[in-house]
């Protein structure tokens, strides 16, 4: 009888330890990505944290994020959003309906904030670090982005500019990052932490 009681106590202790470890993992702080817009050279982009580069070229690179995301799709005031608990970011799930020039993208975000879109007035264009964090290593539904996001937006603007003055963007169709494009979609983001 004591032998069985000892087994139960040991198993109970192991189960409790596993629950404590799981709880600790859930409360681990989010990965911090840069939130301020900057002018970035190619070499600065190549040295960004949390990326894996498959191929470099004169306009950017082909690659993906190394972040293990924890996405949660939900609705905020009738708007579908995606919360990434790994990065502490909330994204608009679908983004813009049309692609547009960079200055129009900035204006769209300004308009979303003035109307308190989804109940928030702190939407912004993502930094390149944040936009690149969405790049997946393999395609799903023809795009290098998690299917929790709308597949219409094949490429999105970042708020960052190349030192030449052109804006950086992420292209989910090919899994690349470039500064030479003229039109992209907009997927606004906000920090939740």
Domain boundaries, the chain: 1-30, 39-191
Contacts of 83 (CB under 8 A, 6+ apart): 71, 72, 74, 89, 90, 91, 192
Q: Which two tokens stand for residue 66?
A: 């190394």
Q: Which two tokens stand for residue 155?
A: 């490429």
- What topology is assigned to 39-191 in CATH? Mannose-Binding Protein A; Chain A (3.10.100)
Q: Are strands 39-40 and 155-162 parallel, antiparallel or unpaired?
A: parallel
pTM over 0.75: yes
Q: Which pLDDT score is estimated for 30?
A: 76
3-state secondary structure at position 81: strand
Q: Which pLDDT score is estimated for 10?
A: 47
Q: Which pLDDT score is estimated for 180?
A: 79
pLDDT at 3 over 70: no
């Amino acid at each position: 009888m004591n032998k069985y009681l000892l087994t139960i106590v040991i198993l109970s202790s192991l189960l409790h330890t596993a629950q404590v470890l799981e709880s600790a993992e859930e409360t681990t702080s989010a990965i911090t990505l840069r939130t301020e817009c900057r002018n970035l050279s190619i070499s600065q982009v190549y040295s960004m944290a949390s990326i894996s580069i498959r191929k470099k070229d004169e306009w950017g690179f082909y690659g993906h994020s190394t972040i293990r995301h924890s996405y949660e799709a939900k609705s905020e005031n009738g708007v579908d959003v995606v919360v990434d608990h790994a990065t502490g970011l909330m994204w608009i799930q679908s983004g813009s309906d049309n692609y547009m020039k960079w200055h129009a993208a900035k204006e769209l975000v300004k308009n979303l904030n003035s109307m308190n879109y989804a109940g928030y007035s702190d939407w912004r264009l993502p930094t390149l670090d944040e936009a690149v964090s969405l790049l997946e290593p393999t395609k799903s539904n023809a795009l290098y982005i998690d299917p929790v996001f709308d597949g219409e937006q094949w490429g999105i603007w970042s708020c960052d500019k190349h030192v030449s003055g052109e804006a950086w963007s992420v292209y989910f169709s090919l899994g690349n990052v470039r500064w030479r494009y003229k039109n992209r979609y907009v997927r606004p983001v906000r920090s939740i932490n």
